[in-house]
Structure 1
Amino acid sequence: MRAVMYHYVRTPDPALPHLRHLHTDDFVLQVDHLDRTEGLARAEDVLAWLDGGGPLPSGAVLTFDDGLVDHHDTVAPILAERDAWGVFYVPTGPYRSGTILDVHRIHLLLGRLGGADLLARLRAAAASEGIDLAADDRWAGRYVHQDDRPAAEAKRILNYEVRDDDRARLLDRLEADLEAEGVADRPTVDDVYVRPDQLRAMQDAGLTIGSHAVTHRVLARLAPDEQRAEIDDSFALLDEATGGLPWRTFCFPYGGADTYTDVTEDLLDAAGSRFGFSVDPRPVADDDRTHRRQSLPRFDCNRLPHGAARGA
């Protein structure tokens, strides 16, 4: 069994010429390629395997991170045409706060400016705000597979290396500068994310809704009580939005092995998560069921046939 991770699936947006995305046409080609060569896994077979009542399924499990509007408007109809299953991992913070998460503010800035321009602006803003951008070697391996090196550096700095409060200050400054230049208006939550009523409709159509925490922060950097709140509060909101999740599943924000801990996995067990996903490019193995069911491996769609990202 192979799990595959997707984020933005769309046609190009002239307002965001640099946004990395999988083109809708390429998504269709990739899903059909996976269906022909491996098959597409079914939820009931995956759950039977996890419960010890069936063999490890063959086929691909399609997973979609971040609760993006693309997933309702573009992905769900394509899956419905193929009677295919997908798992959609949703960060719930925007539904309570009414604001876009920092991780997606970064994506939108990159999409509008490109890596080189954003990195230059970021360094200037940090100098003006008195924020140190000294590199942290712990995160040096982040985004090494991305061709746009300035974009990779900007994301590494903002997602991993600066403190949460400093990141928010920098993003506020960058967005305010763009508005002052007349370059962009700030998007709304509904411009970026699936609405709660749409989540319920997707679940009613046979798709699975899972948690991607509340704020999409690196869980390994949080105290156990903060991690518990990220997990429990997100599941509570998703239960409310969908009318009740039939079962629980979780996906780690950012997903690398250094973004969660054994404590995180224990908290997921306690919260009733049936399984979870990390990011690790290998097939799911049978012993993952007992040894790492909360951190099953996934491939990035960009590393598979028809998966080349557009936007740079």
Structure 2
Amino acid sequence: MGDDNTSAPGDRPTDGSPPVSSLEDLKGKLVSEAMDPHGCEFLHQKLRERKLEDQMIFSEVKGHISMLMLSRLGSDLLQKLYKVLDEEQMKQLVSSATADVRLLVDVCLDSQGSESMQEFIGRMTPMQIFHMISFFTYFMVPLVNHQFGSRVIGRCFNIFPAPADETEPIVAVIADNCLEIAKDKNGSCLLQVIMSKVSIPNSHGRQRILSAITLGAAKLSMDQFGNRVLQHVIGLEMPFVVSSIVDQLEGWFSFLAKDKYASNVVKQLMEASEGKYSSQIANRIIRSPNFLSVLVDPYGYSLSNPQRHTLTKSFARLWIV
């Protein structure tokens, strides 16, 4: 890469001039050379030598970090560069990466860019990550609901203990858009990770997410991906939350038991808290005009033997009374 008359480092030019052996020969062309196999290897060599030339490489590439992240070779160079930079230089790289927010998002949504960004985040200080997260919040839903973007956000959570002030802005935006995220394939997976990480009762963000999931229990239970989030929350075995979900689904159980996705939620609720709500849910189902249709429905019939036994026992008691 680079100008047509410039050879790659280490190659002998066709005009018979000596090969490039100094960074000075590449001044102003380091970014294009970083994305060329020969040029990238030459720059790696210079970084391994740990000379004053490190500063020259840093100075030229810092304004083009997003472009380099989108290139495999450019990303390889950045990983080597991170190892020789001090905190102030890393701070400058973070500022450069966030100078264009839309380009930042494009990097996160790219396969190569996502991997590069995760590596970059892993090299940052907590304050630098907080700075980066503040920019992510403007496009949080598109990031979270994307195959590669969700990995970048997940990387932020994997770094910190739960809960952490640094990730609170992410949790706040996710809480505001919880149902939309929970019903997305990628978003639902990340939401479950977050709920597992943010597991301390006094986390304000966690309480907001739990509240949103509980209030939207009926819609989530019938959704292809939302039902998984709801089951995950039920599986956390928080008595108040499980009780609230049962209350939210009051009057819906006979209908939900026949739904492809919601039937799984009904099963888990009947098993939750050591079967505490099993009889209550069974009573709601058998008192429904649609009770018999539940027993013959493919999904209603899929209730496990203990759950079906609870239904038939409750039905028998109803007739005895």
TM range (shorter): under 0.3
Question: What TM-score comes out, normalization by structure 2 length?
Answer: 0.23
Larger radius of gyration: 2
Question: What TM-score comes out, normalization by structure 1 length?
Answer: 0.23
